[in-house]
Every structure is written in structure tokens, then in C-alpha cells.
């Protein structure tokens, strides 16, 4: 015989489950009304550099007018890793204060030499606009080693070190990059050679049989170097730089050897300011260049 007590319990249990289910649906509807989930476009905007695709409008898809294959997973991961390192308000604020001073001076050097201003972001990857000296001896904004610097006609001696002269060293960078582009035929490879050296990159290209930077298996530092530059470009190219805080540069021709004090007096310059802003002058005495 069918037990009516169990049947009653079974019906009551179903009623309770149904009540709980309806309650959950009501709560979910209320939460959904007040706290709606983001739409696909909103999700893409808030995660613009975490999930990339070839058609993502938020991702810069070129460097020096060369396409970046963000549709390749390894390219996405490499870019994201570098972007996350520098995407902080503190880092951006610190670099922007220096960029306000130097970008208005350095960018025209690239443009006047027929180069893309995208290349200026190399300086952020190298030194973040600090006159650094590495343990290996790389020096200045652009981190030139002595042999490379002298090959590019930068003067290094007991009196001056033009690697610490931002203007002179930037001209040297443009010479290096134009030569590297002529040799390798792409800006991604030219930038890689800036880190690895032209001979070192040439060996890897011949060994691996490809001139596609994104397919080359290079050491971690060189491989990440370009992505670091692209990350800085993505972070900083939309920033409005203050034109009122940039430094003024005056080119002075020295016809005869003189002390820095004498030069400042002749050209009505403040000695302390000149000494502070020209760390490439090792001692306060300059010789006239030999003709």
C-alpha cells in the first residue's frame, strides 16, 4: 500500500525546493537590475590589454608603420607581460615629468632625419630618460657602450663623454637605426639589433633562416626589448605633454679652449645651470674641436 505520509513529505519537499528556486531567481533579477554585467564592448574596454585579438580596436597594431601580429598568442603574452610592468600611475607620472622636458627636444631629431617618432620610445625602454651607467659600462639616455659610441662619432675622453649628452647621443641613435634598417629591411629587426648588436642578430637570422622578428628565437632580453618599447608607446603616445616645462637647448661653437666659467660669461649663461644640465662635461674646461 502507498504510504500517504511519504507522499505528503515528498510533495512538501518539492514545494520547498520550488520556493527556494523562485527566491533565487528574484534575488538574481534584482541584482542584475542594480548591478548589470558588462556588455561585450565594455568588457573589451576594461580588459583591453589582457585579451587581445587581431581586430581589437584598443590595441596599437603597428610599430613604425609595420604591423604587429597580435593574433599570435606568443605576441599577445609578450606584450601583456611588458605592459603590466609599467602600467602604474607612479611609473607613468615619474616618466612623464622627464618626457615633458626632453621629448620636445628629442622627437624633432627623429623626424628631421626621416624616422618615425615611434623610435623615441627606445629611450624609455633603455633608461626612462635617466643618465644611467650600467655595470657593463653602457652609459646615458641611450645606454651606449664605448666602442659603439665612438663608432658613431661620439666623443669620449678625459674631458667629455657625449653619451651623457642627450642631444648628441640622439643623433647617434638615428645614425645607428638608419644603418640597421638598411641592413635588415625592417624596423623590428633594426630595434632588435640595437639591443643584440647587428652582427649578433645577423648570425641568428642566418642560423634560423627567417627575417621575421616575431618568429626568431632570441634571448629573453632582446625578445622582450621590442615589446617593452611598444608597451611604452601604447602608454605614453596619447598623453599631452606640457610645452612649458621642456628645457631649452643652445648650441655654442667654441673656437678656442676655455673654462666653462669663461664660456658662460661670454654667452651670458648661468654657470650652475650649465654644469647641472650638462653631465657630459667631466671637468669645467673645454677644448676647441680640431678641424
At 43-96, the pLDDT tens digits run 343 344 444 444 444 455 799 999 999 999 999 999 999 999 998 888 888 899
Q: Determine, yes or no, domain membership for 47.
A: no
pLDDT digit string, tens, across residues 237-276: 877 666 556 677 878 877 778 888 888 888 888 888 888 8
Same-domain pairing of 129 and 190: yes
Q: Determine, yes or no, domain membership for 45.
A: no
Q: Determine, yes or no, domain membership for 148.
A: yes
Q: Determine, yes or no, domain membership for 268.
A: yes
pLDDT digit string, tens, across residues 149-203: 999 999 999 889 999 999 999 999 999 999 999 999 999 999 999 999 999 999 9
Residue 203 is part of a domain; what is its CATH number?
1.10.530.10
Same-domain pairing of 254 and 224: no
pLDDT digit string, tens, across residues 15-24: 455 555 555 5
Same-domain pairing of 223 and 272: no
Same-domain pairing of 69 and 186: yes
Q: What is the pLDDT of residue 29?
A: 53
Same-domain pairing of 95 and 203: yes
Q: Which residues contact 247 (CB under 8 A, 6 or more apart)?
A: 101, 102, 105, 277
pLDDT at position 283 over 90? no
Same-domain pairing of 216 and 271: no
- Give me the mean pLDDT over the 209-235 stretch: 96
Same-domain pairing of 67 and 32: no
Same-domain pairing of 170 and 131: yes
* Distance from C-alpha of 123 to C-alpha of 233, rounded to nearest angstrom: 11
Residue-number span of the structural domain to which 29 is assigned: 4-37
Q: Determine, yes or no, domain membership for 44.
A: no
Nearest Cα neighbor of 149 from 165, 130, 129, 128 is 165
Q: Determine, yes or no, domain membership for 46.
A: no
Same-domain pairing of 23 and 139: no
Q: What is the pLDDT of residue 272?
A: 87
Q: Determine, yes or no, domain membership for 83.
A: yes
Number of domains, the chain: 3
Dihedral of the alpha carbons of 182, 185, 191, 192, in degrees to the nearest 10: -120
CA distances from 118 to 33, 51, 192 (A): 45, 23, 14
Q: What is the pLDDT of residue 241?
A: 63
Same-domain pairing of 78 and 138: yes
- Give me the mean pLDDT over the 96-114 stretch: 94
Amino acid at each position: 500500500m502507498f504510504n500517504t505520509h511519504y507522499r505528503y513529505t515528498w510533495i512538501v519537499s518539492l514545494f520547498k525546493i520550488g520556493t527556494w528556486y523562485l527566491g533565487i531567481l528574484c534575488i538574481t533579477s534584482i541584482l542584475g537590475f542594480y548591478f548589470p554585467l558588462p556588455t561585450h564592448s565594455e568588457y573589451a574596454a576594461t580588459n583591453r590589454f589582457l585579451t587581445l585579438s587581431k581586430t581589437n580596436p584598443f590595441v596599437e597594431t603597428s610599430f613604425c608603420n609595420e604591423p604587429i601580429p597580435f593574433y599570435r598568442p606568443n605576441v599577445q603574452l609578450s606584450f601583456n607581460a611588458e605592459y603590466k610592468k609599467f602600467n602604474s600611475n607612479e611609473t607613468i607620472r615619474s616618466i612623464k615629468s622627464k618626457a615633458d622636458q626632453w621629448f620636445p627636444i628629442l622627437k624633432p631629431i627623429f623626424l628631421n632625419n626621416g624616422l618615425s617618432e615611434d623610435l623615441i620610445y627606445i629611450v624609455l625602454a633603455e633608461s626612462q630618460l635617466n643618465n644611467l651607467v650600467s655595470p657593463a659600462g653602457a652609459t646615458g639616455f641611450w645606454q651606449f657602450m664605448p666602442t659603439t659610441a665612438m663608432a658613431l662619432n661620439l666623443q669620449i675622453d678625459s674631458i667629455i663623454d657625449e653619451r651623457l649628452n642627450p642631444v648628441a647621443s640622439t643623433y647617434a641613435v638615428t645614425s645607428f637605426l638608419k644603418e640597421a634598417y638598411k641592413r635588415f629591411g625592417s624596423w623590428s629587426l633594426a630595434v632588435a639589433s640595437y639591443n643584440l648588436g647587428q652582427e649578433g642578430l645577423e648570425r641568428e637570422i642566418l642560423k634560423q633562416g627567417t627575417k621575421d622578428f616575431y618568429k626568431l628565437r632570441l634571448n629573453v632580453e632582446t625578445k622582450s626589448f621590442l615589446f617593452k618599447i611598444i608597451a611604452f608607446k601604447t602608454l605614453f603616445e596619447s598623453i599631452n605633454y606640457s610645452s612649458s616645462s621642456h628645457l631649452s637647448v643652445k648650441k655654442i661653437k667654441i673656437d678656442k679652449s676655455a673654462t666653462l666659467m669663461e664660456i658662460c660669461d661670454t654667452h651670458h649663461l648661468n654657470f650652475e645651470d650649465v654644469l647641472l644640465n650638462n653631465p657630459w662635461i667631466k671637468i669645467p674646461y673645454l677644448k676647441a674641436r680640431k678641424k
